[in-house]
Amino acid sequence: MYYVYLIESCKNKKHYVGQTDDLQKRIMRHNAGRNKSTKAYIPWELKWWKEFETRSDAMKVETEIKRIKKRIEIEKYLIKNNFRGVAQSG
């Protein structure tokens, strides 16, 4: 399985969208400062995620989300497309 995820900086509420095949390990890497583009905004918290069967599918959705510039529009997209959020049950 592959995941598309959105994390949010606890420091200043910036967000980052990515894809991975190991969600827990990837979040740990972000918080360990092992990603150049997120290092300055540690710590990060997972906010949204969704599973995909193939890396290709995950990469397509990641690209779609990264094209959306406004945070509110990103969240609308995530809700509409059945992403799971930390504030949601199930």
Kindly list the structural domains of the chain, giving each domain's residue range(s) and its CATH number in brackets, ordered by start.
2-85 (3.40.1440)
pTM: 0.90
**CA dist 5 to 1, 47, 67, 69, Å?**
13, 8, 15, 16
Is residue 88 predicted with pLDDT exceeding 80? no
Chain segment 24-54, per-residue pLDDT in tens: 999 999 999 999 999 999 999 999 999 999 9
Q: How far apart are CA 65 and CA 75, in angstroms?
A: 9
- pLDDT (tens digit per residue) in 59-84: 999 999 999 999 999 999 999 999 99
Which pLDDT score, from 0 to 100, does residue 90 have?
44
Q: Are 51 and 83 in contact (CB under 8 A)?
A: no
User: Looking at residue 86, what is its pLDDT?
Assistant: 78
